[in-house]
Amino acid sequence: MLRSALVVGLDSQIGAALVRTLRARGVHVRGTRHSDVPGQPDATQLDLAVSLDDWQPARVECGFLCAGLTSVAACERNPRLSHRVNVDAQVEVAKRLTESGAHVVFLSTNMVFDGSKPLRQADEPTCPTTVYGAHKAEAEQQLQQLGDRVTVLRLTKVLTREHPLLHDWKTALQRGEAIHPFSDVVLAPVAMDQVVEALSRLADEPSGGIFQLSGDRDVSYAQVALALGHDPHLVQPISGAYQYPTQPPMHTTLDVSGLRQRGMHVRATQQTLEAVCR
């Protein structure tokens, strides 16, 4: 069982949830955050956009790479910064961790694929259509060259009860106000507790390779809004395609057999919606 860990990006949504769970299990957790916060001895500042020459990781059994530039639009606007943060810095941090004897778990995305077909296999060639997806795919490739000390976990859309979008929708609906979710943009959501469970399993039994966590089917954002259980007449869908740099993917689902072989029960999309929307 894992005894010590470093969470790079403990101020991220996933990083924060992971830290809470690991500490509850008795794991000694250190972390990094983008900005310095005085009075937190187990959290150090690490800005992935600048030089890492002076940074050396603490000796831990596993390092989780949870930090990055995740806005698709921001990556399109500034591909140079995206490459620095999402590729170069990830590889630099992973190399230093593995050289110190740690295993590394890297968070990736379904966007390494083009979304043209469902249930992508972990060993399929990547085919991204966005800068964000291309840089995640490049980082995966370089990290895999470090051998079995690196494990990749690809995720589809992560939802929580407190997700800002769901919170805003619920607030508006409770006030009797209409909301306008996308009818033509899909997701195969996973819940945060499942993400943390998958990360924990991959750290407890490190083996390298690529694993995937996904809902079993895609739903539109409009369907997610309807799952909130309020007046359906207030859910007034619109097109969201214009907000994407390329055509929105028709499919986002990934094959999850790798995690199931590790003994994990992966929830279906409907179960995730019931958990986070009600």
In a domain, 51, yes or no: yes
pLDDT tens string 77-100: 999 999 999 999 999 999 999 999
CA–CA gap between residue 225 and residue 236 (Å, rounded): 10
Q: How many residues does the chain have?
A: 278
Its domain, for residue 151, covers: 4-159+190-214+254-266
What CATH number has the domain bearing residue 105?
A: 3.40.50.720
220: β partners: 186
Q: Which of 214, 14, 193 is nearest to 105 (CA)?
A: 14
In a domain, 244, yes or no: no
* pLDDT score, position 44: 86
In a domain, 238, yes or no: no
In a domain, 194, yes or no: yes
In a domain, 272, yes or no: no
Q: What is the reported pTM? A: 0.95
What's the number of domains the chain is made of?
1
Do residues 117 and 156 lie in contact, with contact meaning Cβ atoms separated by under 8 Å? no
In a domain, 241, yes or no: no
**Mean model confidence pLDDT for the chain:** 94
In a domain, 17, yes or no: yes
| Portion of the chain with pLDDT greater than 90, in percent | 87
Instruction: List the strands of the sheet with 62-65, edge to edge.
Output: 43-45, 28-33, 4-8, 62-65, 103-109, 150-155, 209-213
In a domain, 180, yes or no: no
